[in-house]
Amino acid sequence: MSSFTLARRAARMNPSVIREILKVTERPGIISLAGGLPAPESFPVEAMRAATEKVLRDAPREALQYAASEGYAPLREWVAAQLAQQGLDCDASQVLITTGSQQGLDLVGKVLIDAGSRVAVEAPTYLGALQAFAPYEPEIVSLPCDDDGPLPDALAQAQGARFLYLLPNFQNPSGRCMSARRRAEVADAAAAIGLPLVEDNPYGDLWFDSEPPPPLAGRHPASTVYLGSFSKVLAPGLRLGYVVAPHELGPKLLQAKQASDLHTPSFNQRVVYEVIRDGFLREHVPTIRARYKAQRDAMRAALERHLPAGCRWNVPSGGMFFWVELPPGVDALALLPHAVERGMAFVPGAPFYAADPRPNTLRLSFVTVPPAQIERGVELLAQTLKAHS
């Protein structure tokens, strides 16, 4: 019998529902509309190969050595320059390169959350953020939302919270994108009550018809932490993200990063910089958008064709997800095993709620499955619904 005594925070750590579902979808023959995995066909393999050869030829020892915790300086400068074009005026000294933006969420939690302090989130919100914050024992305040994001008047419920966590662009899981007007209303309402913002933007480049509005961080940069990622536009296996923080907060995030993993792999940073430095993403990202838009359209058509009356869904203008509301009384979590038996998988919606979960919701991802399989997967979902509701 083990003599270890677990810390209290360990009891708040739970397995990812999505990761557990992904294990099921590895079975042969399962059409998985569950995991939010970028399409492997979009990975720039040849560009990565050429960049890897260049890094190993020109700076092999530097790339394989320990490096600065802040990150590779040219990459940080590139990030700051790109964000300035999007309306977020910052400098490279505010950019911290992280091992995926998921690490950024952990660092934010480590630096800003005390046991019992309040943290506000959207309803629903990104499950990975709830998992990242949970070990620090916050009290989660779940703010009501409509199809445009958090209701500005509801921010009063979050007064005194350490921060409000937001995903304004093609949110995971709901797919919604906040309008420019709603961003202004939310940012101004937060500023009026002294509520800091944590703005997470992993999907902002994946727009289909028009670019999303400028970041909320551009309106009140002194009270906003901004997180970004290279996972959705290059490759998630590189585990490369970044945090942009106000000057007074940056040193503490850096200290938390040093205690966590010293630095993000310098080899990965240098390879990515070689890929993107000369404008590669300007040509590459539109090919991803075109692929995902076609798959979005295929899923919309399949939902319209197959799902029974009483189901509702959004049509995302970017990102990777449809959010589906099933008829009242249907429990998506209970429905999942039956769907898997028929040969498809989805993610139940309830785990994305910090409070008052809605069991009749589910998330469908359209980016890793070709249109014909999307059609078949939605048809199997409809068959499951008709048989078990």
pLDDT tens per residue, range 78-90: 999 999 999 999 9
Average pLDDT of 8-23? 71
Cβ(197)–Cβ(207) below 8 Å: no
Is residue 15 a contact partner of residue 329, using CB atoms and an 8 Å limit? no
Kind plus residue range of the DSSP H or E element containing 256: helix 250-261
Partnered with residue 243 across adjacent β-strands are 96, 227
Q: Which two tokens mark 345?
A: 């998988």
Q: What's the one-letter identity of residue 376?
A: R
Helix, strand or coil for residue 324?
Answer: strand
284: number of Cβ within 10 Å: 16
Q: What percent of the chain has pLDDT over 70?
A: 96
- Whether residue 313 contacts residue 324, with contact meaning beta carbons closer than 8 Å, is answered with yes
Residue type, 346: F
Looking at domain 68-280, which CATH architecture does it have?
3-Layer(aba) Sandwich (3.40)
* pLDDT grade for 18, boundaries at 50, 70 and 90: low
Instruction: Report the DSSP beta bridge partners of residue 146.
Output: 149
Q: Is a pLDDT exceeding 90 seen at residue 266?
A: yes
Query: How high is the pLDDT of residue 1?
Result: 58
Residue 309's Cβ-side half-sphere holds a number of Cα atoms within 13 Å equal to 0
**Fold (CATH) for 8-43+282-387:** Aspartate Aminotransferase, domain 1 (3.90.1150)
Q: In the chain, which ranges are E strands?
A: 31-32, 95-98, 118-122, 139-143, 145-146, 149-150, 164-166, 197-200, 224-229, 241-244, 312-313, 321-325, 344-345, 347-348, 361-365
Whether 224 and 250 have beta carbons less than 8 Å apart is answered as no
Say which residue the tokens 């899923």 belong to. Answer: 299
Cut 0.85: pTM above it:
yes
User: For the chain, where do the domains classified as CATH 3.40.640.10 start and end?
Assistant: 68-280
Q: Do residues 108 and 198 lie in contact, with contact meaning Cβ atoms separated by under 8 Å?
A: yes
**Which residues of the chain does CATH 3.90.1150.10 include?**
8-43+282-387
313-350 pLDDT per residue, tens: 999 999 999 999 999 999 999 999 999 999 999 999 99
Q: What is the mean pLDDT of residues 260-284?
A: 97
Residues in Cβ contact with 355 at an 8 Å cutoff, skipping those fewer than 6 apart = 123, 140, 142
